[in-house]
Amino acid sequence: MAEMIDVFTEQGEKIGTISKRDYYSWSGENLPWINCVTCFVIDDENKKILFEKRGKRFLDPGKLDLCSGHVRSGEIPMQSMIRELKEELSIDQQDSSNLHYLGKMKVDYTTLQDETNRKALKCFVTVYALRMRDINKIKIDNVEAISMGFLDFEDAVGFIQNSMTRMPYEEELENQYSPIFQRLQEYMFSRNRSHEPEVK
């Protein structure tokens, strides 16, 4: 069965529902926007961030990425993130219930200067973080992700800022990344693990 996603105007007004396959084969003008999610999974003991290496069958094979995915029609972003964490990293719902909301980004891939990141994709990205006490629970699926590794905060931010990951980073996006990096750092190194509710 086709995976269905909702599509939106740039202002966030829903205009319909199509299959993910149809979205990525869009051939006309006025490419709509979709909802996506991504999560900084943190090794809480060592204060490091997990990155996956993308599998060959998926977008941007071989690139480093955070656990990410599309919001399916009928889901809210948090539901999608919990599902993606389970599918890609075998993180169960009990652990992922501690998701921490970092913010939202608006990324138009069609306008990026870096041709390696430019594609037919416009997305509203809800960004989360998740501190894991026991990283031994994490198991990659060997399909979407073929390997994983951990970076400390400074290196993780540096990899993103130097376009060494699947997450695009260009001058026009800096003002969106800055508060997210700040909230991520505060969350990573705080003693409080409580969940901050998502702000609509």
Phi, psi of 14 (to 5 degrees): -65, 130
pLDDT given at position 196: 47
Count of beta carbons in the 10 Å neighbourhood of residue 124:
18
Q: Which residues pair with 54 in a beta bridge?
A: 145
pLDDT given at position 195: 47
Residue with tokens 């269905």: 4
Q: pTM value?
A: 0.92
How far is the C-alpha of 18 from the C-alpha of 77, rounded, in Å?
Answer: 17
pLDDT digits (tens, 9 = 90+) for 29-87: 899 999 999 999 999 999 999 999 876 665 666 789 999 999 999 999 999 999 999 99
Please report how many Cα atoms fall inside a 13 Å half-sphere around the Cα of residue 88, on the Cβ side.
28
Per the CB < 8 A criterion, the answer to whether 121 and 110 are in contact is yes
Residue whose C-alpha is closest to residue 50's, from 141, 114, 131: 131
Please report how many Cα atoms fall inside a 13 Å half-sphere around the Cα of residue 145, on the Cβ side.
25
**Torsion angle defined by CA atoms of residues 28, 5, 197 and 92, in that order, rounded to the nearest 10 degrees:** -130
How far is the C-alpha of 119 from the C-alpha of 24, rounded, in Å?
Answer: 9
Q: Which residues of the chain have pLDDT under 50?
A: 195-197, 199-200
* Domains, in order of start, for the chain: 4-189 (3.90.79.10)
Helices (H), the chain: 20-24, 77-89, 93-96, 153-161, 174-189
Dig out the tokens for 159 from the structure: 């990899």
